[in-house]
Amino acid sequence: MKNIYYDNAATTKVDDRVIAEMIPFYTEHFANPHAVHSQGQIALDAVEKARETVAKFFNCENQEIIFTAGATEGNNIAIQGVVNKFKENIHIICSAIEHPSVLETCREMKKRGVKIDYVPVDENGVVLVGKLQKLIKSNTVLVSVMYANNEVGSVQPIKEIGELIKTENEKRDKKLPLYFHTDAVQAVNYLDCDVSELNCDFLTMSGHKINGPKGIGAMFIKKGVKFSPVQFGGHQEFGVRPGTANVPGIVGLAKAIELISSEGKANFKKVKKVRDKLVKEISKIDNIKINCDLSTSLPNILNVSFLKAEGESILMMLDMEGIAISTGSACSSGSLEPSHVLSAMGRKPEWSHGSIRISLSKFNSEVEVAVFIKALSVVIEKLRKMAP
């Protein structure tokens, strides 16, 4: 059997149909979309058609979609943009399980004098809305909670949080609004992302998580939201994200979104079926913990802890068998610290250090499960015999 790739929460294979859509914009229609001549206008038309496709998916207006280099850039635009606008004596809330691109940006804002609070999660990695409500102050300008967690797959009560913030805004002075940002990177493939239902002001996502290309993303910014750009140089993307547009990437992103619209429900069922089979087989191994409520989490992420078997060792030994997994998020790889997500969920270090993340895509099949489980069982047995 060919290699098994179970690290789709880090990045996904680009769909062949996405590649086919992109190629002409490398070879034929390669002009700068901001050029006045007809070749440039062909590229610009492709960008605007892509914007319309993405806007339709998120159920928003075309001008509310900004193309970025990915969710990390989008998260920075949202957080830094709000801080730059309101500047002094302001407060931000984010969850304890956010992606590093949110947590590190918030830490940087703290150095500028912004007060930061972190809302806790329960044992399944779900934000405690009651705790969040108590953290909101009169000077809170932004709440940032991811739609679904990248390490354990826990889905957050985004609609409930959106309603909470909407109610809070109705009570406060319009001069200092409270905005809601959600990092929807892991959610776009599998969850409803209608921004009018979510009641969010900012939503960010990346192409490479949805079988699209790397280096491209999009963000929704609700019309009327007040923020200051964090980059300068040109008028592109309504002045929010200056620079020459990545036309092939934008076209590819739109095609990936289009495929989710037409095939998403079928892919959800297929991926969940593979995950459920993995759960059934992994559960036969002694001394394990599944780090999420499978009935409410994403269908493609399975985070498992093995007692007396270190996660990095599991990863390396499986890699030697041609099987790719991860320990937590790709952005944290190389760190020997326990996962901040598992720690926030109350997992003890001896369990956190033995955790691995298996993440699936539409390209995985049930046939791979038996091969994976056989290799995993051997690895766990070896490591436990070696354990002190």
Return the bridge partners of 94, or none.
Answer: 118, 144
Distance CA 94, CA 127 (A): 10
User: Residues 223, 63: contact at Cβ < 8 Å?
Assistant: yes
Query: Rounded to whole angstroms, what are the CA distances from 213 to 11, 51, 171, 252, 276?
Result: 9, 16, 43, 6, 28
Identify the DSSP state of 302. Answer: E
Tokens of 185: 């990177």
Marked catalytic residue, from 60, 193, 292, 331: 331
Tokens of 58: 């998120």
Residue 94 annotated as catalytic:
no
Give the count of alpha carbons within 13 A of 183, CB side only: 29
With CA atoms as reference, report the closest residue to 104 among 139, 125, 80.
80
Distance CA 191, CA 296 (A): 11
Q: Which residues contact 346 (CB under 8 A, 6 or more apart)?
A: 123
Tokens of 177: 């609004």
Distance CA 315, CA 11 (A): 17
Q: Which residues contact 276 (CB under 8 A, 6 or more apart)?
A: 294
Q: Which residues contact 204 (CB under 8 A, 6 or more apart)?
A: 68, 71, 74, 75, 78, 181, 182, 183, 184, 185, 217, 218, 219, 220
Distance CA 388, CA 382 (A): 12
70: region left, alpha or beta (phi > 0 left; psi from -120 to 50 alpha):
left
Angle at 197 between CA 196 and CA 203, to 5 degrees: 65
H or E element, residue 118 = strand 115-119
Residue with tokens 């620079």: 243
Query: Which residues are identified as catalytic?
Result: 331
